[in-house]
Amino acid sequence: MLIRSRVPLRISFGGGGTDVSPYCEEYGGVVMNATIDRYATVSLFPFSDKTIEIESIDYDAALKYDVDQFLAYDGHLDLIKGVVNYMRKTYDVHHGFKLRIHNDAPPGSGLGSSSAVCVAVVGAFRHWLNLPMTPYEVAELAYYIERKELGIKGGKQDQYAAAFGGFNFIEFNSTKTIVNPLRLRNDVVCELNHRLVLAYVGGSHDSSKILGSQIKNMASGNEETLTSLHKAKEHAIAMKAALLTDNLDDFGLLLGEAWESKKHFTAGITTPKIDVIYEKAKSAGALGGKISGAGGGGFMFFFTKPDKRYAVTKALQEEGIQIVNYSFTEIGLHTWEVRCP
């Protein structure tokens, strides 16, 4: 018997950056995001012997350890090692196993892929060890391992989006996180899916570096950064209202406003290439758009006028940009068992 664990990746519409410490503790953060049918998938194979194997399909990498050996952090698959070390220490795991990991998007894509992997691995262990963990507890543990144990800079939205799935308005403060699922009409979701063009602009970003700079700006009291983060929070709140009241054009315009605010968080969020791409999409009929994630590269999305999807798509393709077909999904972390022959 093997265990399969799958979580969706996410598009971050608004508020990203306000979920990063110390902003969320001092002012309270909010994000508006949605998950799509791109996934991080983990397969866990229990062994009868005393070895641990970790295999990454995407990196073409395979590691092997003794079951009682501490998995040292050396920049190779450290997220997976962090979960393994935590689970073995906390739940006294002495069984051998193999983990095989695959992700539909690379790190630095802006779709929360790294945190999604962490959540998927936690989910696989939860199933295998029969742990009574809620989606909140899964997300919080993944956050702890990634941000505290490993010291990787970033916020909280990715872990919660992966664990819960769907359209969510998520609130963060110093004591708790609250996930508010949005019950949107199916017509709204379908129209949003049609008019929102997802595009891979190339060049992965170093989210840890960009967010580290943002955190430094916050700590030093940089007024431009703080004002922009306040605006980002306002935009996320307004986006939620626009979707719940079926005002999709307002939602598209808010994406553009959110992008203008985001560019002032810190240096490196946009590039000359990204600015050109954005203006091309706007000229072709996009109401607004932004980077999904910390910035610098990866995926962008553009919300088009009702009859301009194909014009925007064509304009982006003429710039050598890859258009990615997708659908929204409501299912978050999901695990199941597969009987091997």
Tokens matching residue 6: 């799958």
What count of Cα atoms within 13 Å lies in the side-chain half-sphere of residue 126? Answer: 24
- Residues annotated as catalytic (active site), given as ranges: 158
Residue with tokens 């091309």: 280
**What are the strands, taking DSSP E only, across 133-213?**
167-172, 177-181, 196-202
Tokens matching residue 79: 């997220």
Spatial separation of the C-alpha atoms in residues 90 and 104, rounded to whole Å: 30
Q: Looking at residue 250, what DSSP letter applies?
A: H
Q: Looking at residue 204, what DSSP letter applies?
A: -
Tokens matching residue 291: 């980077």
All residues at 6 or more sequence positions from 139 whose CB lies less than 8 Å from its CB, including other chains: 119, 156, 159, 160, 162, 163, 164, 177
Which residues are registered as beta bridge partners of 12?
33
Over the Cα atoms of the chain, what is R_g?
Answer: 20
